Amino acid sequence: MTINILIVGAGAVGAFYASRLALVSSTQVSVICRSNYKAVKANGFAITSPKYGSYTFTPYHTFANPRQAIDSKIKWDYIVVSTKALPDVSDDSEILEGLVGEGTAIVLVQNGLGVEEPYLKRFPSAIILSAVTIVSAAQTEHGVIKHNRWTRISVGPYLPGSTSWVAIESNKRFVQLLQAGEIKDAEDYSHSKLQMVRWHKICINGAFNPSAVLSNGTTNNAMSMDPELYIHLKGVMDEVLETAPKVLGTPLPKEFATSEAILKSTQKNTSGSKPSMLLDWEQGKHMELEVILGNPIRIAREKGLEMPRLQTLYALLRKAQENRDRAKSQSHL
């Protein structure tokens, strides 16, 4: 039986995982492209990776838009969504209208918290799998994907207040496909453990990402070496690590890195890496502010908990983005 996989958001992360899933003999992996359509339709994706070498990934179908994917009449087993999560710009669950059928699992490979909710709302009976990945990848030009190092992806069924063996099984099979595509660190998680992983990643992204922009473009390493910024970063991370167990109703696993451990490894890493929000800011793009800062703050607030450090970063950066976009639109008049 062929497993049909559709990638929505075939950028750095989407195309990289697509190229690994496509190696499995039982899969047919198709993509919906946007700005990179012409390049990918002509030449597929060129992938370079220190771990997997250089290779070409030619999708089974390269669609220019969702309509073409619907017209293909394929019944999708998995629809992987790896657009940037920008709920303040667009509700990307809309792209999946007409594509989600009986037994289709929607796999969200995106940063942040609360990314599952728009999909659950629109497709209440669909299987939703939630994935957190640590990968460093970039689309350096249309259809050219540079994978920078090792990869980890944790996947869990999204089952808030419910259970579904079908979703748990579907999750297991998806992780097995990733492993068959040589993603050794693909892990099958429960709903609750996956949400813990999401919170833990907020601790890192919520501290480093906005601070890099608000400090006028400081790298992670340079921030961790600055004594005042060290205190600031540790404060933000500890605030998130203290709030997460109260929201989730369960302590975070002991094996999750502490704020000190994260700062220590950042101090050792002199590679000059810039967090994604800084790259987006520098390119004049929208930042994933709502899912990395706004949603955690709102989810905690619903439980009567405030995160003043994270809230400060959110309020300042959101206004900075608003001012930048206003200046940009006025200069275009």
Ligand X SMILES: *[C@@H]1O[C@H](CO)[C@@H](O)[C@H](O)[C@H]1NC(C)=O
Residues within the interface to ligand X (CB under 6 A): 136, 148-149, 213, 216-217, 265, 269, 271, 273, 281-282
CB 198 to ligand NAP: min, Å: 11
Q: Which residues bind ligand NAP (CB under 6 A)?
A: 9-14, 32, 34-36, 82-85, 92, 95, 109-111, 133, 135-137, 139, 276, 288
Phi then psi dihedrals of residue 136, to 5 deg:
-125, 110
Q: Report the alpha-carbon distance of residue 319 to residue 314 in Å, rounded.
A: 8
Residue with nearest beta carbon to ligand NAP: 11
Q: Which is nearer to ligand NAP, 82 or 154 (CB)?
A: 82
Q: Which is nearer to ligand X, 298 or 324 (CB)?
A: 324
CB 50 to ligand X: min, Å: 9
User: Residue 281 binds what, of ligand NAP, ligand X, none (CB under 5 to 8 Å, by partner type)?
Assistant: ligand X
Q: Which is nearer to ligand X, 123 or 281 (CB)?
A: 281
Rg (CA), the chain: 20
Burial code (b: 16+ CB inside 10 Å, e: under 16) for 286-312 equals: ebbbbbbbbbbbebbeeeeeebebbbe
CB 157 to ligand X: min, Å: 29
What does 88-152 look like in DSSP terms, one character per residue?
TT--GGGGGTTT--TT-EEEEE--SSSTTHHHHHH-TTSEEEEEEEE--EEEEETTEEEE-S--E
Q: Which is nearer to ligand NAP, 84 or 191 (CB)?
A: 84
User: Residue 12 binds what, of ligand NAP, ligand X, none (CB under 5 to 8 Å, by partner type)?
Assistant: ligand NAP
Q: Which is nearer to ligand NAP, 92 or 239 (CB)?
A: 92
Q: Is the Cβ–Cβ distance between 32 and 63 less than 8 Å?
A: yes
Q: Is the Cβ–Cβ distance between 103 and 40 less than 8 Å?
A: no
CB 313 to ligand X: min, Å: 14
Q: Which is nearer to ligand X, 60 or 150 (CB)?
A: 150
User: Residue 139 binds what, of ligand NAP, ligand X, none (CB under 5 to 8 Å, by partner type)?
Assistant: ligand NAP
Q: Hey, is 25 helix, strand or coil? A: coil
CA 308 to mean position of chain CA atoms: 25
CB 110 to ligand NAP: min, Å: 4
Strand partners, 105: 78, 127
CB 136 to ligand X: min, Å: 5
Edge-to-edge strands, sheet with 144-147: 53-57, 45-49, 144-147, 137-141
Helix (H) or strand (E) holding 55: strand 53-57
User: Residue 217 binds what, of ligand X, ligand NAP, none (CB under 5 to 8 Å, by partner type)?
Assistant: ligand X
User: Residue 125 binds what, of ligand X, ligand NAP, none (CB under 5 to 8 Å, by partner type)?
Assistant: none
Amino acid in the structure at residue 126:
A
CB 21 to ligand NAP: min, Å: 15
Q: Which is nearer to ligand NAP, 168 or 299 (CB)?
A: 299
